[in-house]
């Protein structure tokens, strides 16, 4: 339903996308996971015809979006990250405007507004001015705008950032309902649990290209053995962690030993064998090597491990690195026409 082929995009000297390819099957709820600055927003803006790629091809519902942007736009509902609403208009007026921009008849527009305001629970405040809306109400209105023309493809850029837990659960609910009705949904997120819980398939983005793709289960299965998190104390120093890292690297049946700075220099590693037997053996080995243990946790691989495996850092580390190197002024300029 959505095909991005070998997309390249640069902003001046900064490369945002480096040969990104993506294929979203019809009726799929597809997650685009990656830290800030990985290129998610750029990819979605190109998909929605807001931005032209330097190179590459874009197809939406079989239409070449670069050759026939207007045809592609009619198939798309786009819910942007920065919610741009007109504070002076009421929610209903904004939706009516949206209806006219998509050439719905007045009757059709009215019916869709009624249906969506029931679905999203907006009846009570739909006739109030948007300026008085809370964050959750704005996001719901924006979703209603994206859905008004009943698009075949719904694209959401970080739809739950800044939402309270209740609004987020409500949004997840609606997305799942839409998927059941056959809408193809592409959403970007830097929340692991969101993508894990919602997506049928996902792609992990890092530095402008896809580094892993598949169903959440597949991706986790590929990683094999159990994940172990060892803390030698609640907050270990780096030297201490490095010393323990070396000891653990020498143990049997252990691989990919990493220091996780985001978790107070905990040691992450993979235990090739699975189950409680393997853990018991590990404990004995640690005792023998006189490694202090504050906590020892065992789990099946998570999506974070998928990211860690592919990039050598956790999603949170990447996120923190991205935040400090962001240039909000340049980003605003990119978003402005």
- Closer residue to other proteins in complex, CB, 2/33: 2
Minimum Å distance from CB 313 to other proteins? 31
- Closer residue to other proteins in complex, CB, 72/163: 72
- Cα separations in angstroms, 325 against 42, 63, 191, 331: 17, 37, 20, 12
Distance in angstroms (rounded) separating the CA atoms of residues 134 and 136: 5
Residue 48 lies near other proteins (rule: CB under 8 A): yes
Minimum Å distance from CB 331 to other proteins? 12
Distance in angstroms (rounded) separating the CA atoms of residues 321 and 39: 15
- Closer residue to other proteins in complex, CB, 101/114: 101
Residue 202's SS3 state is strand
- Cα separations in angstroms, 118 against 111, 141, 221, 222, 235: 11, 12, 40, 42, 49
Distance in angstroms (rounded) separating the CA atoms of residues 326 and 41: 14
For CA atoms 75, 81, 86, 89, give the dihedral sign.
positive
- Closer residue to other proteins in complex, CB, 22/76: 76
Among the residue ranges 68-76, 248-256, 264-272, 316-324, the one whose residues contact other proteins (CB under 8 A): 68-76
Cβ within 8 Å of residue 266, ≥6 positions away: 229, 230, 231, 236, 241, 259, 260
Looking only at residues 124 through 163 of this chain, which bind other proteins when binding is defined by CB under 8 A? 129, 145
Minimum Å distance from CB 100 to other proteins? 3
- Closer residue to other proteins in complex, CB, 110/207: 110
Give the one residue of 14, 19, 55, 88 binding other proteins; rule: CB under 8 A: 88
Residue 204's SS3 state is strand
Residue 71 lies near other proteins (rule: CB under 8 A): yes
Residue 66 lies near other proteins (rule: CB under 8 A): no
Residue 288 lies near other proteins (rule: CB under 8 A): no
Give the one residue of 33, 58, 63, 76 binding other proteins; rule: CB under 8 A: 76
Residue 162 φ/ψ region, left for φ over 0, alpha for ψ in the -120 to 50 degree band, beta for the rest = left
- Closer residue to other proteins in complex, CB, 100/176: 100
Residue 74 lies near other proteins (rule: CB under 8 A): yes
Q: Which two tokens stand for residue 279?
A: 């853990």
Residue 73 lies near other proteins (rule: CB under 8 A): yes
| Residue among 305, 60, 102 nearest 186 (CA) | 60
Which residues make up the interface to other proteins (CB under 8 A)?
48-50, 70-71, 73-74, 76, 78, 80, 82, 84-86, 88-89, 93, 96-103, 129, 145, 333, 335-337
């Amino acid at each position: 339903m959505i095909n991005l082929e070998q997309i390249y995009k640069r902003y001046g000297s900064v490369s945002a996308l480096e040969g990104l390819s993506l294929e979203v099957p019809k009726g799929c709820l597809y997650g685009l996971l990656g830290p800030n600055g990985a290129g998610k927003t750029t990819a979605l803006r190109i998909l929605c015809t807001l931005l032209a790629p330097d190179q590459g091809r874009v197809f939406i519902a079989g239409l070449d979006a670069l050759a026939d942007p207007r045809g592609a736009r009619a198939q798309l509902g786009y819910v942007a990250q920065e919610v741009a609403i007109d504070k002076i208009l009421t929610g209903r007026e904004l939706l009516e405007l949206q209806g006219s921009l998509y050439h719905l008849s007045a009757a059709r527009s009215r019916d869709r507004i009624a249906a969506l305001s029931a679905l999203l629970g907006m009846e009570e405040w739909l006739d109030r001015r948007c300026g008085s809306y809370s964050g959750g109400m704005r996001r719901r209105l924006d979703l209603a705008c994206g859905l008004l023309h009943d698009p075949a493809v719904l694209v959401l850029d970080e739809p739950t950032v800044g939402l309270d837990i209740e609004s987020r659960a409500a949004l997840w609910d609606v997305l799942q309902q839409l998927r059941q009705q056959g809408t193809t949904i592409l959403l970007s997120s830097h929340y692991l649990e969101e993508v894990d819980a919602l997506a049928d398939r996902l792609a992990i983005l890092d530095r402008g290209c896809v580094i892993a793709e598949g169903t959440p289960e597949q991706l986790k299965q590929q990683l094999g053995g159990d994940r172990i998190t060892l803390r030698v104390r609640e907050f270990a120093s780096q030297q201490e962690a490095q010393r323990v890292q070396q000891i653990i690297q020498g143990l049997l049946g252990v691989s990919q030993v990493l220091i996780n700075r985001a978790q107070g220099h905990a040691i992450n590693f993979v235990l090739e064998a699975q189950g409680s037997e393997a853990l018991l053996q590990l404990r004995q080995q640690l005792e023998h090597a006189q490694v202090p243990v504050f906590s020892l946790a065992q789990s099946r691989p998570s999506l974070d491990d998928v990211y860690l495996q592919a990039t050598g850092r956790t999603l949170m580390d990447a996120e923190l690195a991205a935040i400090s190197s962001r240039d909000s002024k340049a980003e605003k300029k990119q978003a402005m026409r």
